[in-house]
Amino acid sequence: MKKFIAIVGTNAKKSTNRTLLQYMKKRYAASAEIEIVEVAGLPLFKKTKEMLVPQYAKEIAQKIDVADGVIIGTPEYDHSIPAILSSALAWLSYGMHPLLDKPVMITGASYGALGASRAQAQLRQILDSPEIKARIMPSSEFLLGNSLKAFDEDGNLNDQEQSEQLDGLFKDFLLFTDISNQLNHANVTNEKEMNNFSWDEGSSRREEEK
């Protein structure tokens, strides 16, 4: 059985993105073990000379390292992802690279009608950056709009079509993780590039030596 880490991309105490990930954990329990991880509690990202990383960020990184894939649920604030999620991803690419070539599925729930579509697009760009290089499942956006009305009292999705769409995407993600394991021929090279990356200069040491 596959093991996935599901990251709640907000520090809000009540979040429909958390509810969505909890729904996925329950609905797909027969196919995968999904552990929900909160970014709440992480400090805002700040570079230091010693490259100090919060212990909690290290713990999240360790969970991601041993997982088969990652699911990220993001809300949308002013057409972007929350600052706490951006900060968490910065910590997870600061002297460590748990998301390198890691399969990632993105979901998003919002109170509006668009279902965090712009935030998901921004998140894809961040995850594809040279400092992170995650492997995001293509054409896989799950956009849950009007999310305050989307769940019943038991935390299940009210709309059958939305449930079926999510079912299909999750099956694709299971397959995507298998395919990703066969696409790691460049992993060693990618790791070397990551190790050569310099946060101080924003470039690789290799480039600095030219």
For the domain that residue 78 is a member of, what is the CATH number?
A: 3.40.50.360
Could you report the per-residue pLDDT of 31-44, keeping only the tens digit for each? 999 999 999 999 99
User: How far out from the chain centre does Cα 55 lie?
Assistant: 19
pLDDT at 78: 87
pLDDT at 120: 94
Handedness of CA 34, 63, 108, 190 (dihedral sign): negative
Structural domain boundaries, residue 95:
2-209
Average pLDDT over residues 130-144: 91
> Residue 126 half-sphere exposure, CB side, CA atoms within 13 Å?
22
What is the number of domains present in the chain?
1
- Give me the amino acid identity at 56: Y
Helix axes 117-127, 83-91, angle to 10 degrees: 10
Q: Please check the confidence at residue 203 and state whether its pLDDT lies above 50.
A: no
Average pLDDT over residues 139-144: 88
Residue 36: phi and psi, rounded to 5, are -85, 130
pLDDT at 126: 97
pLDDT at 197: 64
